[in-house]
Amino acid sequence: MALDIVIMAAGKGTRMKSRLPKVLHRLAGRSLLDHVLATTAQLEAHRCWVITGHGAEQVESAIAASAAQPVLQIPQLGTGHAIQQAVPHLAEQGTTLILNGDVPLIAAATARTLVQACGGERLALLTIELPDATGYGRILRSGDAHGGRVLGIVEHKDATPRQREIREVYTGMMAAPTAALKRWVAALSNDNAQGEYYLTDIVAMAVAEGVPVVASHAADETEVLGVNSPLQLAELERRFQLRQAEVLMETGVRLADPARFDLRGQLTTGEDVEIDVGCIFEGEVQLGDSVRIGAHCVIRDARIAAGAVIHPFSHIEGATVGAGSLVGPFARLRPGAELGEEVHIGNFVEVKNSTLAKGAKANHLAYLGDATVGERVNYGAGSITANYDGANKHRTVIGDDVHIGSNCVLIAPVSIGAGGTVGGGSTISKDAPAGQLSVARGKQVVIAGWKRPVKALKR
């Protein structure tokens, strides 16, 4: 049976106070709409349609890499009007699942259950009971019992005071027999307070036709919460992050404070991993056994091997950290940084597109770019590789057991032979031999009788 999915994404989101379309605002590093598309990708739908309107070009660009296709709604005259635009693209038979682009955390299992409740024959509404139902459409049932037949939905702004006391609400998501859905939305009227075509009016049409209307209950309030303001976005972010933190802690990860943790991608962890407060993980990050992450680190697309310690305020992106290595505090590993086992990268050290072999150390105020560093190298404070000539990047090769003194400049391309020593303050522009001391600096001169300038007296 064909499954069509329609995602509502045409709204402006006036309360967001932003030029960015509401569905493109980010939650956990991804747009709200992208979260929904990730869910629909798990449902094996025949086709997926995204209703665009406000900021249509931006939304269309955002979905270009997905299997979803845009359908333009101009002007925006309500949810029923949005589905009217999609009708020509839907299959003749089967089920149509309607989701909201600003309700990002709907789970695939919940959406699948909703489709099953429809079964191509019934109108299935996704509902939930909320302690504060302000703003939501209320589910009207026969009698007072919760299990009474569903008769319709009344929008909050059109509800009577007694109807507003109802706690069971419509989440804005439904699954309907496609053929019936086409018939119902064609008959919609805009005779209401807002002059809009409400999709919810099809419930009464289904009841009138004798088509069963069923409620599929969402188990978790978080997955049906929508975003209409920066405050709601921030609240949903914290809910989502707490959920992710709890999953990690259930696997054994020790989080110093789950309320101060942000995962904006995928995090894979070994045993006995410890993460301090304020850390942000983006992209795909792997942490081996017994890894410790200090406070306020930002780690993106990185692999950190067993026993490594990342001290506070370090930034790591596109890098690999070997087992037992120490990084930071205040260190930066840029893309292409590959640290071997037991490497030490200290405070205010930056490494880019460089490999450091086992036991190498750069402990203070240094830069290594486009370098190959051997085992047990000691790289002095204030030293840098001058790897860029203004047009091209060049490589520096430092052999095993080399000692680079403080405040040195290694002008690439250049090699320092194994066991060599570079004296502090040297500027090395030619290959330095193995096992030798290389010094390249001006001769110290003492000028007798020189006097330091003094300030002139003010008159």
List pLDDT tens digits, range 161-185.
999 999 999 999 999 999 999 999 9
Q: Residue range 376-397: average pLDDT?
A: 97
Least confident residue range of 41-55, 154-168, 245-259, 279-293: 154-168
CATH class of 254-438: mainly beta
Average pLDDT, the chain: 95
Domain 3-224 architecture: Alpha-Beta Complex (3.90)
Residue bearing tokens 């930056």: 350
pLDDT of residue 91 exceeding 90: yes
Residues 6+ apart with CB under 8 A from 57: none
Residues 6+ apart with CB under 8 A from 254: 272, 273, 274, 275
Higher-confidence residue of 278 and 452: namely 278
Q: Residue range 51-76: average pLDDT?
A: 95
Q: What percent of the chain has pLDDT over 90?
A: 88
According to the model, what pLDDT value does residue 1 have? 74
Cα of first residue to Cα of last residue in the chain, in angstroms, is 96
Boundaries of CATH 2.160.10.10 in the chain? 254-438
* Per-residue pLDDT band at 146 (split at 50, 70, 90): low
pLDDT of residue 458 exceeding 90: no
List pLDDT tens digits, range 344-364.
999 999 999 999 999 999 999
Q: Which residues pair with 174 in a beta bridge?
A: 98, 125
According to the model, what pLDDT value does residue 348 have? 98
- Cα separation, 261 vs 195, in Å, equals 44
According to the model, what pLDDT value does residue 246 have? 97
According to the model, what pLDDT value does residue 192 have? 78
- Cα separation, 316 vs 336, in Å, equals 10
According to the model, what pLDDT value does residue 281 have? 98
Dihedral sign for Cα atoms in the order 62, 64, 68, 70: positive
Residues 6+ apart with CB under 8 A from 214: 117, 118, 122, 123, 124, 125, 150
Catalytic residue, from 217, 364, 394, 403: name it. Answer: 364
Q: Residue range 126-149: average pLDDT?
A: 83
* Per-residue pLDDT band at 27 (split at 50, 70, 90): very high
State pTM to two decimals. Answer: 0.90
Is 364 noted as a catalytic residue in this protein?
A: yes
- Cα separation, 128 vs 225, in Å, equals 10
Least confident residue range of 54-58, 150-154, 246-250, 311-315: 150-154
According to the model, what pLDDT value does residue 144 have? 57
Boundaries of CATH 3.90.550.10 in the chain? 3-224
pLDDT of residue 145 exceeding 70: no
According to the model, what pLDDT value does residue 409 have? 98
Token reading at 296: 């306020």
